[in-house]
Structure 1
Amino acid sequence: MSAITIERVAKTYAGSAAPSVDDLSLTVEQGDFLCLLGPSGCGKSTTLRMIAGLEMPTEGRITIGDAVVDDAARGIHTAAERRGLGFVFQSYALWPHLTVRQNVEFGLTIQKVSARERRERVDHALETLAIAPYADRFPAALSGGQQQRVAIARTLAARPSVMLLDEPLSNLDARLRLEMRAEFQRIHRETGTTMVFVTHDQWEAMTLATRIVVMNEGRVQQVGSPLDVYQDPANRFVAEFMGSPPLNVIERGETGSSARVLDANPAAASAGLRPEALRFGAGAAGPLEFPVTIEALLPTGGSWIVEASDGARRLFGTTTSLPAVREGERTTCSVSPSDALFFSDDGSRIAESLITA
């Protein structure tokens, strides 16, 4: 049985001409770690809030387990507190006058769970999130990462069928975000809880999700595993959104030596080259090659970004080995035809290269 089924759901706010979410259909399977990914304003948080019951769909139906919780046509809307879901917000929303234990216990008290079971659930949640030593502290005495763990422990203690997380890591610094990503992976692996996670951070989605839903302007662009979405994007939007440095895009009719990449597929309006697919230097010969000038070599720690110019545009490549080129050097850039992505005028993917490697 699916954990959540969304059927032809739309949400249009009063006074808005365009829907925030438009004709969205999606299935979340039991045990999924599903990430809703996209730029600000794409409808991902609105989708999560509709699943949670904090927003009512204008159209369509939402089913959780075997219960219809929203059906716009029939006027059905189940209140958020009756959906059996856990929600972790971007803000931690902790009670400042309650201790860690009291914060985690709060929802169970409202639900009138017995004192013995409350204690057992809270102890287990505190141990799972490694915050048991802080049980008697107040939130102000905790770091940001510790406060986030308290918010997650509070949700886990309620034993929800599904956990909904709305950009819960965006307020943390880079190191804490990395630590909490590993924490979420561990929690998901150990508890098997179905999770729906909203983020605009592609690497967050790539490292956490079992499946990614890429959204733009209220519509789903692609659903797939992290590798599928990155390696086999459904359209130009997905291809450009995923990746850092971003996709190198070459437009039909542009000048510059890299324009010859489009000769590999005369039907294409544009071509995209991932930075890691570009190879620079005299020993990097390939079926598709063109002259470039190396503009900059940018070390990032364990890798390098190579910035090059083909006479009309800047191209960015990445490598995990020390580049065999120098700044200002005139050299060759090559790419395998199988690594090029081709798009039509409307941005949809079209047939692959007509040149074989």
Structure 2
Amino acid sequence: MVSPAKNPSSSSFAVCRANSFRLAAVINRLSSHLLLDDSAGLQHPDGVEYYNLLLSLARGVDYAVANNDVPDNIERMPVLLKQVCHRKCDAWSQAIVMVVMISVKNACKAGWFQEKEKQELFSLIDNVGSCFYNPRDINSGSSASLCAISTILSRFYPRMKMGEILISLEVKPGYGAYVCDFCIKKDTTRSREEKLRLLVAQTDNMETSACIISPPSVNFLLNGSGVEQRTNDPGPQIPTNVTSMLKYGSNLLQTIGQFNGHYVIAIAFMRVTSTIDTSWLKDHISPIISAPDSDSELIEGPSKISLNCPISRSGIRVPVKGQSCKHPQVSETS
């Protein structure tokens, strides 16, 4: 669970040193495992200890990256990781190796390794990841997606202010399985009012609130757990608070299913303001009402509207509707 960053202390330094020693011990033990397997002619290492060591390596790298620490003796890691990735393994082993390489990817971005080693590790990461997804299908952090996010927030969530975007990706229509990892560091600056939220919006038509309805045949997972609010609610949704589902270090976002259009998906720090800035609102213009048709045989009967906002599902305090909207139902400004 992510909480506001606190000032570093001597105790955190001591923990980082302990983590560095633990990583060195894990690397030594893994090297011994691989050496013994090579001497015995084994291409598929077995044993619970081997897999536990890989997971310990991932946790140690995660902790160091989250705390902006560079452990000692990391120069041995690239060679070790190449040996691990080049070994034949089953689906279970591939999943564990993938966990390790996601952590290593963030270490590469943090500047742990030389440029040549970093590029070799990135290549290994793509190779391992190809067993689970196609990296070429993922278009993340583009200017188009950032523009769409800004438009959607100002149009449908005017009281919601966005801070740092941790991850954003564009999704094409059709069936797809998308996997994106991102790192949260402990020194990330944010206020107590900011929460990490998941935004999902269709970009084919951003004029109506239909664009903020979650695709009905898609599942969203964070660190292996489903985001239930995204599967149980068929109507328009506000960005989902997923703070409790995330942690410092490496995090994994998975979206799997049938997309009925182009979507933008993002996880960002957001806060809800108590008041709304109306300076950006245009002067109200009454909707154009067509003249009645004398030949029309249709007679409009009584209509019912809800006092709850169809987007937030809460009571309407300040009713609004679009300039060209002809529906009787209104929504809340937030």
With CA pairs under 8 Å and 6+ residues apart, which has the higher RCO, 1 or 2? 2
Greater strand fraction, Structure 1 or Structure 2? 1
TM range (shorter): under 0.3
Q: TM-score, normalized by length of structure 1?
A: 0.25
More helix by share: 2
TM-score normalised by the chain length of structure 2: 0.26
